[in-house]
Amino acid sequence: MSAEVAAAPARPRKPRVQTLMEVVRTEQLTPHMVRVVFGGAGFEQLEFKDATDHYIKLLFADPQLQLQRPYDLDVLREQLPQEQMPVTRTYTVRHIDRENQQLWVDFVIHGDEGLAGPWAAQAKPGDLMSFFGPGCGYGPRPEAQWHLLAGDEAALPAVAAALEAMPETAQGVALLEVRDAAEQLPISAPVGIDVIWLYRGADFSPETTLLASAIARLEIPAGDVQVFIHGEREQMKQVRRLLVQERGLERRGMSLSAYWAHGRVEDQFQAEKRTPIGQIDAE
């Protein structure tokens, strides 16, 4: 005799909370990177975990629509066509200043290209920003015997935050790819972490990037190696094959994914994550 077991009801999805903060100050870090410091009462509702790669999804809308932040997305979906709805852009939090209740977010600037970069380049104290998050997924393990960190400009804030959080006894290598020496930032790292800057000498392209080839030349010791590598999607696919298939590193526990894709805006990039081209790991 068999009995039918009723399926457990699906848990309702937790509603996403939209946080509203304001620009406190901005700082031109390099010719192509601007830091925006956010503050205000919205900080109090944020929840942070024991991680160094907290990220937030900033919301942007067409200024001509004169929408008021925080955006009521449910109402806007009834009023606006899809192409006029606010869109998100994902950025890693460079620093959480709990004492002053502020978030530091570093933006790569490419002239008038994109949404977030031009906004950051023109941001001024008092400007409002709303966002979802933070989310996170990685924190350096104090017991790891060796750390491999790598990334391009998009990953630089997360790598820098991770290095600052490591114990002074940490060992490993951090590879950081930027356009040239003018884009290099001061980073605090344990003495046992070898911080290596890679200069492309030009804007990113499949021909100018150096990250994957530099990782291929590394001598990675046996033992407990913790990996944090993020950057352009096709480069991350190469790195995944190199480390997992050729070097035999354990994929489980490795923080390796794409922050962006060459030739794609974020809306395309995010949509492609659900398709074969957007997958870092082979099926």
Segment 133-154 shows an average pLDDT of 96
Q: In this structure, what token pair is assigned to residue 16?
A: 């996403």
Which tens digits make up the pLDDT trace of 29-64?
999 999 999 999 999 999 999 999 999 999 999 999
The average pLDDT across 54-76 equals 96
What is the per-residue pLDDT for 15?
Answer: 67
User: In 211-231, which positions are buried (b, 16+ CB within 10 angstroms) versus exposed (e)?
Assistant: bbebbeeeebeeeebbbbbbb
User: What pLDDT does residue 10 have?
Assistant: 53
Can you say whether the dihedral through the CA atoms of 230, 234, 239, 241 is positive or negative?
positive
Q: What digits encode the pLDDT tens for the residues 153-198?
A: 999 999 999 999 999 999 999 999 999 999 999 999 999 999 999 9
Q: What is the mean pLDDT of residues 127-154?
A: 97
pLDDT grade, residue 273 (50/70/90)? confident
- The predicted pLDDT at position 192 comes to 98
Tell me what percent of the residues of the chain surpass a pLDDT of 70.
Answer: 94
CA-based Rg of the chain, rounded to a whole angstrom?
Answer: 20
Q: Are 32 and 108 in contact (CB under 8 A)?
A: yes
- Please check whether residue 152 is in contact with residue 172, taking contact to mean a CB–CB distance below 8 angstroms: no
pLDDT at 69: 96
pLDDT band at 1 (very low <50, low <70, confident <90, very high): very low
* Mean pLDDT over the full length of the chain: 92
Assess whether pLDDT exceeds 70 at residue 5: no
3-class SS of residue 21: strand
The structure tokens 């526990």 sit at: 253
Average pLDDT over residues 111-122: 91
> How many Å apart are CA 124 and CA 26, to the nearest integer?
7
The number of C-alpha atoms within 13 Å of 84 and in the hemisphere containing its C-beta is: 12
Residue 3 pLDDT grade (very low, low, confident, very high; cuts 50, 70, 90): very low
Please give the C-alpha separations between residue 3 and each of 6, 7, 9, 103, in angstroms, as whole numbers.
Answer: 10, 12, 18, 54
pTM of the model: 0.91
- The mean-pLDDT minimum among 5-14, 65-74, 251-260 falls in 5-14
174, 149 Cβ separation under 8 angstroms: yes
Q: Per-residue DSSP letters for 148-216? A: EEEE-TTTHHHHHHHHHHS-TT--EEEEEEESSGGG-------TTEEEEEEE-SSS--TTT--HHHHHH
CA separation for the pair 266, 227 (Å, rounded): 25
Determine what percent of the chain is predicted with pLDDT higher than 90: 83
What residues contact 233, with CB distance under 8 A and at least 6 apart? 258, 260, 261, 262, 269, 278, 280
Edge-first strand listing for the sheet containing 193-199 = 193-199, 172-178, 146-151, 225-232, 255-260
pLDDT of residue 283: 54
